[in-house]
Amino acid sequence: MRWCARTSWFSVLAPVSLLTTKRGRPMKSPYRKIFPPLFALFLLFVPLLSQPTDSQTARVTEEEVRQFLEQYKNHYTRKDIDGFISLFSFKAIQNERDGFNDIRKIYSDFFNQSKELRYHLEDMKIEIYKEALIFGLFYETAISVAAHYTVDQILKKTGKKKVWEGDIRWILIKEHGTLRILTLDFKHQISL
């Protein structure tokens, strides 16, 4: 069976014997009007089929989440604003109001005021969801992490120590195979 070399859209999918009559003429089919739109839909999905599916890249383990939070703490304590902000999605929201650029400014100012930072997490609870609808967008994997945090800050100007502590919650997603923070919510108390 040889493949048809005609310019017909269907020739890519079907052998010559299905497309021609016994005399070699193009076969008229009652489906000839319905196939072009279906084929157009097929072409739209071909690129998606050739890439790895999100389910292959979206699998997340608890160990992966712990490593991610370790990176978060390391960037935070080193006051590495570029490394720290790279952990956030561009769609990230903090405390239900601050967008990506606001988050960058807040932490940049905080890091610049700090001579030294220490970050501690306790009572961490990790929940991995197979599917989630967040802000009207579907994600194959979403991770909720809740914990109690303590940040010890030594101010640059005065050398005074501040202790920030409270509850914190992250919602993490996978973007392009990498964990990113989608939401960050915390409530803190300051003790001097």
Cα three-residue angle 164-71-52, rounded to 5 degrees: 135
Least trusted range by pLDDT, from 32-41, 130-139, 143-152: 32-41
How many helices and strands in the chain, by DSSP H and E?
Answer: 6, 7
Residue 53, judged by CB atoms within 10 A of its CB (0-12, 13-18, 19+), counts as exposed
Report phi then psi at 55, rounded to 5: -65, -30
Contacts of 13 (CB under 8 A, 6+ apart): 39
pLDDT digits (tens, 9 = 90+) for 43-99: 444 333 333 444 444 578 999 999 999 999 999 999 999 999 999 999 999 999 999
User: Does pLDDT of 136 surpass 60?
Assistant: yes
Side-chain-side CA neighbours of residue 52 (13 Å): 8
**Residue bearing tokens 């509850």:** 167
| All domains of the chain in start order, with CATH | 9-51 (no CATH), 56-191 (3.10.450.50)
Tens of pLDDT, residues 166-187: 999 999 999 888 999 999 999 8
Place of tokens 């640059």: 156
